[in-house]
Structures are given as structure tokens and as C-alpha cells.
Chains A and B, each alone.
Chain A
Amino acid sequence: MKIKNWIYTAALGAVISFTGIQQSSAQVAQDRYFRAIGTPHNPKVQVSWNRYHTNLALEEIMKDMVKKHPDLVKLESIGKSYQGNDIWVLTVTDFKTGNAEEKPAMWIDGNIHSNEIQGTEFTLYTAWYLSEMYGELDFITQLLKDKTFYIAPTINPDAHDNFIKEPNTLNSPRSGMIVLDNDGDGLAGEDPFNDLNGDGHITMMIRKSPTGRFIKDQMDPRKLVPVAADQQGEYEMLGFEGYDMDGDGQVNEDGVGYYDPNRDWAWNWQPDYIQRGAWKYPFSVPENRVVMEFVMKHPNIAAAQSYHNYGGMILRGPGAEEDLNTYNATDIRVYDAIAKKGEEFMPGYRYLVVYKDLYSVFGGQLDWFYGGRGIFTYSNELMTSYLYFHQNAGRGNQDEQMKVDTYLTFGDAFVNWEEYDHPQFGKIEVGGFKKNFGRLHPGFLMEQDAHRNSSFTILHAFHTPKLSVMDVKEKDLGSGLKEITAIIYNERLIPTHSSQDIKYKIERPDYVSISGAKVVAGFVVENEDFNKVKEQKVNPEKIEVENIPGMGAVKVRWIISGNGNYSINVDSVKGGKANWKK
């Protein structure tokens, strides 16, 4: 661990030290702005990172990025959602250096769960930061020469806007907008929430009742607190706003689909009775199918991040204990090295394993990226109450949340209790926290957390493979024959093939070829000191290498005849290309 961290720090430090200090007038732009370290202070694309953007605004910003950074940002619609919205992917790379589809790539998406909209902002921030800092910071410039970022701010655009524009709770919708029969009565979506007070938020219903077990806190009447076991209360809780629309005696039991887009992926997929939220079969959710098809067509993706909320977590698989053997020690060392570094610069975020530290999930997105494609993948659970007061008060701590709303947001987070005549419950009161409080960042916390999470994906992307032909040795064997031994080095943590990839041969081997020489025999050198070699009898000029490990190397050898100049080419799907010429 320590060694890995040291290596990373040294590598990153080396890159940064070349930068020197750019002390120049560029830091005072247009006589108006002075750079705050770490942030583009005079960006070509103006974005406020303290509010949420609708699909319309997102599209405008993304198109502006393309316009202002034509050599760095491309935008494409990779397919349509259920309701026919575009699913946009920004490709961010230095398009003038190398072929984007041949560079090791990082996939970042947000908003698979509809209500978890800060993932959209954070992915967008990453694209913005990278494109604005290119040319200003050598580290970022080199990163975009070496790597490609595929950034999908929302892979669930229908429900992204539904959450924002329609009445919702902080948890709804979780699915996309396909309306299903949640309660098994043969009707689909016949009894959703009802916004009784018409404020765009689904808050809580309470009612005075002699058998109620709650009272309003006299110090802060917004708060409903439970009474002691031997005390009489005044209020009962009636759940989220709504009424019984279909006459079955239940309220809010059938809104939009029960399905969970994050139970729809093709690694160890299980049906709904085993994994609640699964729909018909893997990729039956149309938005996921679009993403899957993109990922299949871009096998250069070697690392991935999928943003969720809530809890301040860097998650990795396995999603289910049944998959424990899928993640082997070699790969876990890579996961650990990157995530433990992330914990250091993301206060409040903890590195956790889904099945062990949360709950079991079959058919989750991160398990498919890793299990189904061999891609090193994290899922960050954005926002944690730690960011409020740097205390671990825990999720949904009412006292802390009230304090936030009193001293930091001044009443913006809460809908005060108001009386309402309910058709079934009679006189009730409606009120509570708004849908955009609790799980979502308040504006003043967004930019910082967006930056830290982007930094984590940048670190992750940095550690996708970087290959070079490090050393080529020639030995004269006599009779006109020469032995050429080449070392192919990967100077980053992530191997060209994860162990999962090797196990199932997900991606083809890496090819190390020699051209310009007549090849008599070709080998992979297993131990140079004791001359342990493995011969490749067919096509020896193109040696197939199973994997080039992270921070490691493979050696290949050819016996050639003749004296001409030759060149050596490395071609790895996830590791990019490298070459060497004599």
C-alpha cells in the first residue's frame, strides 16, 4: 500500500514539477479577476456551480463547451431515452494528439437514479474543468493528450427533469419514467403522490390524534418529536402527501415504475423476486441499453465512475456476496490504492465495498462494468451530512438538518406546516423538508465537492495504463541471427487487463509486433535471468501478450535475421499504443 501511494505521489509530483510556476499576467484576467488557486478564473464557458441545471440548460452548456473548445470537446447523442430525450456523451480529450478511440479512456456518468441529480453537475464540472485547464496546467494538458474522457451527465434524462419540474419527494422518482403496475392490481400508475398544497414538493402529512405518538417541539415547532413511552402524544404521521385515488384503501402505492435502473445490468442479473427493482432482463431499461451499446463500442474504456447520492462513499463491488470470487486480490490492490488515496482528499468520504458495507445488489451497474467488461469501476455516493458541520451526525438527522436550515439556509429547506382538508383523512397538516434538501447538496457546498470528486476521477483516469517500449536489447547469435529483447512498461496502476478480463478473455490480448525484420522465432520472456521463454509458433512477428500489469512490464523476444532497421509497436485496446524505432 505505502509503496503504491509513494509511486503515485512521485509520478504526479514529477509531472507537476515540470510545470514550474506560471506567474504571469494571465492570472489577472481582463483587469477584473484574480485566480483562486485550482479554479479556472476566466473560463471560456461560464457556469455557476451552485445550482442545478435542467436538460435544457445542460444542453446549452455542453454545446457551448464544444463551441469554445472545438479541439477538446465533442458532443454526441448516443441514443434516446424512453420518452425520446437524447442521452448525451461529451468526449473530452486532446483530439489533435492521437485517436480518441485508441487512448485509454475513463467513463463517467451521473443520475442513473432520477433524484440523484448532483451527479449530473459533477460530471459536467469535470468536463468543464478539464477543458478550461487544458493549456494552463501541464498535468491536465498531458492527461488529455494521453487519455479520453467519456462523460454522460445524465443517463436518465426523462426522470432528471421530472424530479426537478414535477412534485416529488427527496427519493422520487428512483426509476425512469416507464409506468408499471407497482401493486399488482392490473393497473399501472393509478395512485401516485398528490401535491396537495401545490408547492412542487411532496412533503409529509400529519394529523392531530389522541393516539398519536408525536408532538411538535416547543423550541422549534417545525420539528415533530416522538413522546416518551408513557406520555400522550398529539400527532400521528400519515406519510407522504397523497390520497387514495383508486379506492383500494392505500395511498401513493402505485406511481411511476417500481423498477430500479441500477438493477438492470448484465452481470449476475437476477429477477425481481430475488432482486427487487429488476425489470425484465438485463438492459430492458432503454437508457441502460444505450449506455451498454456505447461501452461495447468503446473497449478503450479502462476505468469508470458512476455517481449516486447519498452518504459520502467511494464504492466498489462486489455488489453481492455470491460474487466474492469475482474480485480477486490482484485487482483489489489496484482498487484499494486509488480509493484510499481518494479518501485522503475527500473529507467525509469513506471507501466501502457494496455487499459488505451496504447491502447486496444483483445486476448493479458497477458490477457489470467490472464483471462484464473488466473495467475498474467505482460508484461515488455524493453528499454527506459531514459537509455541513464536519460532524458525523448521520443520515437524515432531524436536529442537524433543522440547524442547517436555521443558520445556513435560513428557512429555504423547509415547508412550514399548514392545514389542509384531506378527502379521506379530514383535517391534516402538510409540511416538511423540500425534495432538494437532504440528499442533494445545498448550493454553497456544491462546487467544492464537485471539485474533489472530479479530482478523484482524474486520479482514476491518470492510472489507466500508460505503455512504452522501455528498453530494447540486441544480442548477436552468430550466423546472421540476432536476438532482440524488448521491455514493454506500464507506468500506471491499472493493468491492460483486469484479472476478471483475463479470466473470461473479455478483451483480446495486447499485441507487440516487430516490423522491418525477418522473424525466425518469437517469445514471451517469462524470466530473463534464467532464459525461461514461451514460444509463439504462429505469427511470431505479432506476439500476443495476455496482460501488461500495472507498474510492471512484460518482455518479448524475437530471433531475427538480417541487419535492417526495424520498429516495435504495442497495440493494447485498453492500454493504448506505443512504438519504438531503431
Chain B
Amino acid sequence: MKRLYLSLVVGAGILFSVQTTSLAQGDYPTLSQLTQRLQAISGSGSAAKLSSLTKTEGGKDIWVLKIGKGEIDNKPAIAVVGGAEGFHVLSVELAVQFAERLIKEHSDILDRTTFYVFPNMSPDAYEQYHAPLKYERRGNTSKVDHDRDGRVSEDGYEDLNKDGLITLMRVESPTGDYTPLESDERIMVKADISKGKKGSYLVYPESRDNDKDGKFGEDLTEGIAFNRTLTYKFPIFTPLAGDYAVSEKESRALLDYLFDQWNIFAFVTFSPANNLSAPLKYNAADAKKRIVTSMLEKDVAINSMVSGIYNETVSPKAFNQSNQGTDGDFFQWAYFHFGRLSFSTPGWWVPEIKGDDGKSISNAEANFLAWATEKGITDAFIPWASVNHPDFPNQKVEVGGIRPFVMYNPPYEMVNDIAKEHTDFIIKLAEMSPKIEFHNLQTEKLGNGLTRITVDLYNNSPLPTHSEMGEKSRWLRKIRVDISKDAKDLVSGDKIKLLNKLGAFEKTSLSWIVKGSGAVDIKAGAAHTGIAILNVKL
């Protein structure tokens, strides 16, 4: 009995140890392993509280860790989001490791900043990584007629070669539009008609045409993708997006929760989009339209400053990072529709590999395969092999292609360093959070019981209290200044005053003339800037 008890204690110690959890594991965790780690992070006495926002259509929990100390709802907060895309299993690991490292190595920052960690917004799709049939899945478990033909999911993927992986299939055909890439013949590319080149293959996802409409894999058995369902540029009626925005339990639960958390000033989302290696671009025309589709000018400057910090903190050099947002995604929503500073990074990308000629390889897949070879990864490509395909009875059909997941998720042993650098980046961002302070208090006796109070309110941060977009949004509160005197005792100055914003390292002067003696409290701030209290003796 005693021995058993002891070993339980040791076990708990292992769970708490960041090093051990990440090293002990050979591959990305399963959902139940993730849940165990989240529970370990949020054990009794921890600054992290774990709760489930909802269960998805597939019955999976949507977890949130709220991590903080003291007045946690009135400290500026950063929300960290993983699993925006189900196939991007790295993003989940980065979010969870961030929480683990925060608690273990950076808990000092909690005096100043609160954190929300949403480790996995696509658990239904994430599960496909560990399923017997593996493919890069985005959608949840809802039933969706993606091609809108009145038949639900009749044309999903099909494992033709029975290898447990969904890759591609190519069909030899005189009318084909694909041709092998010259530098790496495993890779199929569109024949360049503009150069008079003709194709010799048709290329499809590994699938059948069950409804005989001439299309392959156009009505997948998965449902709605979280990263396509948000309101900014919602791609209505397109595959994986559905009939209306925020249609799914997990997207609604997340948004309902976020709309109640007034202290979030910034989001860091681990998703394929990247505005950290380089900031979003400013387009004056798009920024001035009624429906704003360019980050506003002052916010691009903030994005640029934060990108600088990211590039100093995260060692890999950006390569092929051209995705700066896709329609209906989460990271753009957080800025354009929620008014918060919003940053996204995939966390990892295939680094640039120079070909034999010393030039970089322009085809991303070829670059990946070259990198895999360098790293000694031998199974990155499933070699093309013939199968019998019932839809092409008299044609040569081969199945093959890059193994699912490996282009977006590095080998697990690399994750530790990636997570460490990204944790450091988020901590640096937290250190920049808006910070409201009082300075230069003066009290002047005007005689006959009147006192003039003058004080500067100062934002001690390189970030403004409100981004340019945040100023427009109702979803960031104004800075509220209260003085604890009755209105009848205020000869001048407001009992309640609302300020729209304070810029980076900006101050504003406040002044009251009050009647009477004793002490007054002046309180200023908003949930996302922190709240400062000043006690003034009259």
C-alpha cells in the first residue's frame, strides 16, 4: 500500500515535468493523452483552471485552460489557440507545451498577465492522425453535403491501396493535365500550357466517383472545418464551411466564451497562416471601405514591431510563408471582428533547401522531399504503385504521394525546441501588455476645504491600450476613470470618465476639484489594460 502510494507521487512528478512529458513521447499525443496532460497542468493548487466549453458533434471536449493569479479577470490577457486545423497536430502540442512551460518556468508573468489556452479547436479532425485510416482532415463530425447535390458525403476518400493512408492517385491519360516535375519525378505538377507543354496524367485525391458525377473526393465524409466557419470573409456554401457562419457547437462555444472575457488584448493562434514572420500588408483602399479588409495602418505598425520580436526569438528563417489568412479563419476573425491584436504562425515550416545548383527549390513539395532526404526521413513519400480502380477499368491508375501530415508537422523530436522558442515569444508579448499607471500626483489646497487633484494617467507599454481596430469595436471596453467622491462634492471633474485609448507610452492629465477632507480613491483602466488604483489624501 505504502509502495503504491509512493509510486503514484512519482508518477505525478513525471506528469508535471515538462522535459519528461515531451521526451518520453515518441509521437504527437492522442486526445486522451492530451486530456491527461491538461488535467496535470491544472491540478489542485495550480494557477491553471481547466474547463470544457462544450462537446463537439463527435463527443470531444473543447478545453480551455484559464491561467492566472489574483484578479485574473482584470489583468490583460493573451489567448493561445491550437488545433485551428485538425491536420496541424503540431499546433495542439505547441499550445499545450506553452501552458506547461508557462506554469513551470514563467509563472512570474502571471502577476501581470492572464492567459487563456484553447489547446485544440478541432478534436474531431485531430483524431484522424491516430485513426487506422490517416489523412489530413479539417472537418468535424457534422453531416454536411459539401458539393450540395442533395446527397450527403457520398464521395469521400477511399483507401484504394489499403495502406491506411490517403494520398493521391494518378491516372495515365492522353487528356490528362498533369505531368511529373522534372527535378523530382515523384511529384505531379500541372503541365505548363503557356510553354506548349501537354500533360499525361489526371491527378485526384485517393478516392472513387461513387455518384458518377465525374468528380473525385468532392463530398468528404468529414463536416465543418473550424478554420473556415468564422464570420470574417465567411466562404458561404463552399465545402467544409457550410450554410452559415459559426454553425458548429465548438465555434459557438468558443465565441460565446470569448465575448465574456473582456481582458484579452492579444491572440496567438498556431495555424497555417503567418503574420509573425512578416506583418500583414496595409492597403489604404481596403482599409477605408465600409467592410474593412485590410489591417488598419497603425495596427500594421504594431504587427511589424511584434514580427520583429518574433523573428529575434524564433530561430528558423521564414520560407514559403505566403499564407497570411484564408476566408473564414480564426486568426483574422480575432482582429477584424473581435478587435484584438491577432497573431498567427504555423510554428514550423519546411526550411529552404538549396538544390545542386545552389538555388532554392521553387516547388514546395520538392523542397520538402529534399529536406526529408537531408534529415534521413525515408518514408516521406509513398511510391506510386498500381491499383485496380473500378472507375477507370482500362486505364493505369497508381496511388502514391507525400505521406499525410509530414509537410505540416515536423518529426516529434523537433517539437521541444519549437515549443520553447514560441513560449519565449509569447512571454515577451505578455511583457508588452498595456499597463495603466498613475504618475505625478499633485494635491493643491485651494482653501475653504477645496482641493485640486491633478494626476497623469500613463500607459507604460509599447502597445496602445486599444489598437486602431479595437477603438472601433464595442468588444474592447473603454478606459474608465472613477473617483470615490459623491458628485455633489465634485466642484469640477467627472465622477465617471471614459477614455477611448492611450497610445504606446502615452499619458493624459486628469484633474478634479473636490470638497472635504479625508481620502479619495481614483481608479482607472479596463479589464484588458489592467486597473490602477490611487489613494489620495486630501
Residue numbers of A with Cβ under 8 A of B are 181, 183-186, 246-249, 266-267, 269-274, 280-284, 292, 296, 322, 360, 362, 372, 504-506, 508-509, 537-538
Contact = CB atoms under 8 A, between A and B. Distances in A.
Given A248-B496, A281-B245, A273 B473 contact: yes
A247 B291 contact: no
Given A186-B480, A506-B148, A281 B231 contact: yes
Contacts, number: 95
A248 B230 CA distance: 36
Given A269-B245, A505-B237, A538 B498 contact: no
Given A185-B480, A372-B243, A538-B212, A270 B291 contact: yes
A269 B211 contact: no
A273 B338 CA distance: 10
A447 B256 CA distance: 43
Nearest to B234: A269
Given A247-B487, A281-B231, A538-B211, A266 B244 contact: yes
Contact of A273 (B236, B243, B474, B477): B474
A185 B499 CA distance: 10
Interface string B484-522: 000100000011111000000000000000000000000
Closest 3 CB pairs of A and B: A508-B150, A266-B244, A505-B148
Given A185-B498, A248-B494, A249-B495, 14 more contacts: A184-B498, A185-B480, A186-B526, A249-B496, A266-B236, A269-B245, A271-B337, A272-B474, A273-B473, A281-B230, A281-B252, A282-B246, A283-B244, A283-B246
A249 B494 contact: yes
B14 interface: no
Contact of B212 (A181, A273, A274, A537): A537
Given A184-B478, A269-B231, A271-B231, A248 B495 contact: yes
A270 B473 CA distance: 12
Contacts of B495: 247-249
Contacts of A183: 498
Q: Is the interface of A mostly helix, strand, loop or mixed?
A: loop
Contact of B245 (A184, A185, A266, A296): A266
A181 B213 CA distance: 52
A372 B256 contact: no
Contacts of B497: 248
Contacts of B290: 274, 322, 360
A292 B150 CA distance: 20
A184 B252 CA distance: 23
A426 to B, nearest CB: 15
Interface residues of B, number: 42
A248 B496 CA distance: 5
A274 B233 CA distance: 14
Q: Is the interface of B mostly helix, strand, loop or mixed?
A: loop
A504 B256 CA distance: 29
A328 B61 CA distance: 44
Interface of B: 148-150, 211-213, 230-231, 234, 236-237, 243-246, 252, 255-256, 259, 262, 290-292, 336-337, 339, 469, 472-475, 477-478, 480, 487, 494-498, 526-527
B265 to A, nearest CB: 16
B236 A504 contact: yes
Contacts of A538: 211-213
B496 A247 contact: yes
Contacts of B255: 280-281
Given A249-B494, A281-B246, A184 B474 contact: yes
Contact of A185 (B234, B244, B259, B477): B477
B391 to A, nearest CB: 12
Contacts of B487: 247
28 contacts: A184-B474, A184-B477, A184-B498, A186-B477, A186-B527, A246-B496, A247-B487, A248-B496, A249-B496, A266-B245, A267-B236, A269-B231, A272-B474, A273-B339, A274-B291, A280-B255, A281-B231, A281-B245, A281-B252, A281-B255, A282-B244, A282-B245, A296-B243, A360-B290, A504-B236, A506-B148, A506-B243, A538-B212
Contacts of B475: 272
Contacts of A372: 236, 243-244
A505 B236 CA distance: 11
Interface centre among B230, B234, B339, B496 (most CB of A within 10 A): B496
Contacts of B149: 505, 508-509
